[in-house]
Amino acid sequence: MIKTIEHQRIRELRLDRPPVNALSPELIAALRKAIQAAPADGVRALLLSGTPGRFSGGLDVPLLLGLDRASMAKLWREFYGLLGAIAGSAVPIVAAITGHAPAGGTVLALFCDWRVMADGEFKLGLNEVQVGIPLPPVILAGLRRLVGLRQAERLAVTGELLSPRDALQAGLVDELVPTERVPEHALARCRTLLALPQEAMTSTRRLARADLAAIFQADLEPELQQVIATWWSSETQTTLRALVERLGKKAG
């Protein structure tokens, strides 16, 4: 599910779960473990990438709809843990958004240090509301930090999916490059960071991202309980099941 590619001091974690790199419980846990383990291996920067045309399709909704309540509660806690690992990483993480990145795909990139996106006929954004899921507060906090309060309100409430160029204008991504150049450009960004005086860069980065890490240092249990309860609400379940049915008809 994850291909690990070493670029000397930089480690690329490439999502590789066909067909759309959807986030399953196993992939979420594996990605969290890989991010947390990297600094101890001497890795000084991480590159989070996907396959050509598809960064990540977000949570694997068809799979998750078959889970029981205990399994879904575990998944949400693990997903929060993954976001916290990205936000609090001791080494920079650059997102190489190689294609479509709706919902959870965008969420992963939100908490990275930098976002390089493929310039093409792709979509990204936080469309949770459109599929019946209220945007969790930690994700809204990450969105606000990245794009500002008013822009975050618009994107979160409408659940609009954006083209790469609109995402760049909104501040949701930092750079656009041709699809085939996304990984190499993201890798160059990592190398630029590592070329800086390391103590100065590391301490300044830690200070600059302290507010982001602090989101996950608070007591998130009440929030998690609400998020988990909402997943099982009638509206959310009905909307998600209708979505899966539509996707199934398209595939057929």
> What mean pLDDT do residues 136-153 have?
97
Residue 251 reports pLDDT greater than 80: no
- Rounded mean pLDDT of the chain? 96
Q: What is the pLDDT of residues 177-193, one digit of tens each?
A: 999 999 999 999 999 99
Dihedral Cα 102, 76, 208, 161, nearest 10 deg? 10
Confidence band of 248 (pLDDT split at 50, 70, 90): confident
Confidence band of 104 (pLDDT split at 50, 70, 90): very high
CA distance readout (Å), 204 to 148, 167, 173, 210, 213: 22, 27, 22, 10, 14
**What phi and psi, each to the nearest 5 degrees, are found at residue 20?**
-130, 15
Domains of the chain, start order: 2-194 (3.90.226.10)
Locate 56 and state its tokens. 């990540």
**Count of C-beta atoms within a 10 Å radius of residue 5:** 13
pLDDT score, position 252: 61
Structure pTM?
A: 0.96
> What mean pLDDT do residues 10-14 have?
98
